[in-house]
A and B are shown apart, each in its own frame.
Chain A
């Protein structure tokens, strides 16, 4: 799961990921992350943390955190 900085950046992230074949959708982040200011969440499936990081950095997409959610590399 990616904690984005804003709804616009979250939507941009979703579209970029879907465009390059990584399934992604907007989600509401858990309360503890919302308290950090990360209420715009993106759930990306089928890509590991490194790939997610590479995609975000290559498009200069700002984000707060990448939170691993399971063994499958869902981030």
Chain B
């Protein structure tokens, strides 16, 4: 199998990650509950992970790294924490359902107003102009994906965060498609960052992170035991435990820690350059090709290692099924981001190709060959003269 669905989850997981999960299953028990070597190992593991995550994303310290189930969970903590009783949210036109569904739910239950800063695809200037206009309406929270999960557009999130800070609006950076692929962290103006553990950070599914800026105060999303402060009826007032009710996914945490260390050992800038080179190769081969509609940025710095395409006259799902039959794993459809498709003027969906540092140029060439052959066959069928049977 040639795996091009890394925006869903990265695969294959590195050996170090698989080994760390297995070792944790054999040696780690529960954190902050009970005594003994397994509990101590759990405490050390979680602390090591918090420290690694805080360093990776530029948080002040390990207490700023909250362990979550995934990026969606992290986004929900902030969205419901800030807007649970109402207010206005500023978003881009390219957010996925992890952001939009919590907002739509709050729109129904608490009257939250959703303010989309719409713009054309890959148009930074138009987006920032719309973002500025949105900030002028004094939203209570600004939320932005660092990278569109459908088109790979690297949104100008640093500038957007600075503008939000200037306007006094808390800024939540959704690093779902950036973490582990591109530099992203608590840059000036970023109040919170949500990241999945199982995508670019190479960890197992069921892991994620919420990174908190200094002095953040939010109500918890979940309530329950934390292993300390047991006599209290309330959740602890301090992060990270304030947001971590119940026993943690310790084998997952071990895998995520190994994943972050793997990304650090490979080097984030090397990963970014390599994935950009794969995208450049795909663009070089496919951008001018007739019979395929590709979504590539005119300028390479605006796109991460993922792109979308459609074969005109063929449903994306049909193309994906043909690719799967030929041994390629891709994703097709709306990619949990119907708004992104509408904003890009492509409401019917697309086939998405998303690279990781485990992909090779040879795999990209194989994809290009397959697509060229499919286009050729399709064109030949369409151009063929009608048969007698067709005319009957």
Selected contact of B236 from candidates A5, A28, A35, CB within 8 Å = A5
By the criterion CB–CB under 8 Å, are A11 and B238 in contact?
no
Residue B227 is within 8 A (CB to CB) of chain A in the complex: yes
Residue B275 is within 8 A (CB to CB) of chain A in the complex: no
The segment from B42-50, B137-145, B318-326 found at the interface with A is B42-50
Which residues does chain B contribute within 8 Å of A6, judged by CB atoms? 63, 226, 228-229, 236, 238, 241
Selected contact of A39 from candidates B61, B229, B240, CB within 8 Å = B229
Residue B114 is within 8 A (CB to CB) of chain A in the complex: no
Selected contact of B63 from candidates A12, A26, A28, CB within 8 Å = A12
By the criterion CB–CB under 8 Å, are B238 and A5 in contact?
yes
Q: 1/0 per position for B219-259, CB-CB distance to A under 8 A?
A: 00000001111111000101011000000000000000000
Residue A40 is within 8 A (CB to CB) of chain B in the complex: yes
**In the complex, how many residues of chain A place their beta carbon closer than 8 angstroms to a beta carbon of chain B?**
17
By the criterion CB–CB under 8 Å, are A15 and B228 in contact?
no
Selected contact of A7 from candidates B35, B61, B227, B232, CB within 8 Å = B227
Cα separation A9 to B62 with both chains bound (whole Å): 9
When C-beta atoms are compared, the residue in chain A nearest to B232 turns out to be A37
Cα separation A9 to B43 with both chains bound (whole Å): 11
Which residues does chain B contribute within 8 Å of A67, judged by CB atoms? none
Answer whether A40 and B231 are a contact pair too, CB < 8 Å, given A11-B44, A12-B47, A12-B63. no
When C-beta atoms are compared, the residue in chain A nearest to B31 turns out to be A7
Cα separation A58 to B142 with both chains bound (whole Å): 35
Selected contact of B238 from candidates A15, A35, A39, A62, CB within 8 Å = A62
By the criterion CB–CB under 8 Å, are B238 and A9 in contact?
yes
Q: Nearest-CB distance from B54 to chain A (Å)? A: 11
Q: Nearest-CB distance from A18 to chain B (Å)? A: 12
Instruction: List B324-354 residues whose CB lies under 8 Å from chain A.
Output: none
Cα separation A15 to B48 with both chains bound (whole Å): 11
Cα separation A7 to B236 with both chains bound (whole Å): 11
Which residues does chain B contribute within 8 Å of A40, judged by CB atoms? 32, 228
Which residues does chain A contribute within 8 Å of B226, judged by CB atoms? 6-7
Residue B40 is within 8 A (CB to CB) of chain A in the complex: yes
Instruction: List A7-26 residues whose CB lies under 8 Å from chain B.
Output: 7-9, 11-12, 15, 26
Cα separation A11 to B42 with both chains bound (whole Å): 11
- Of B32, B228, B232, B240, the most chain A CB neighbours within 10 A belong to B228
Which residues does chain A contribute within 8 Å of B62, judged by CB atoms? 8, 11-12
Which residues does chain A contribute within 8 Å of B35, judged by CB atoms? 28
Cα separation A36 to B241 with both chains bound (whole Å): 17
Residue A69 is within 8 A (CB to CB) of chain B in the complex: no
Q: Nearest-CB distance from B42 to chain A (Å)? A: 10
When C-beta atoms are compared, the residue in chain B nearest to A4 turns out to be B228
By the criterion CB–CB under 8 Å, are A7 and B43 in contact?
yes
Cα separation A63 to B50 with both chains bound (whole Å): 19
Residues of B with Cβ closer than 8 Å to A? 31-32, 35, 40, 43-44, 46-47, 50, 61-63, 226-232, 236, 238, 240-241
A6-B63, A8-B238 known, 20 other contacts, Cβ within 8 Å: A5-B238, A7-B31, A7-B227, A7-B228, A8-B46, A8-B47, A8-B240, A9-B63, A11-B47, A12-B61, A12-B63, A15-B47, A28-B35, A35-B231, A36-B231, A37-B228, A37-B231, A39-B227, A40-B228, A62-B238
List 11 interface pairs A-B (beta carbons < 8 Å), by A numbering: A6-B63, A6-B228, A7-B31, A7-B241, A8-B62, A9-B238, A34-B230, A36-B231, A37-B229, A37-B232, A40-B32
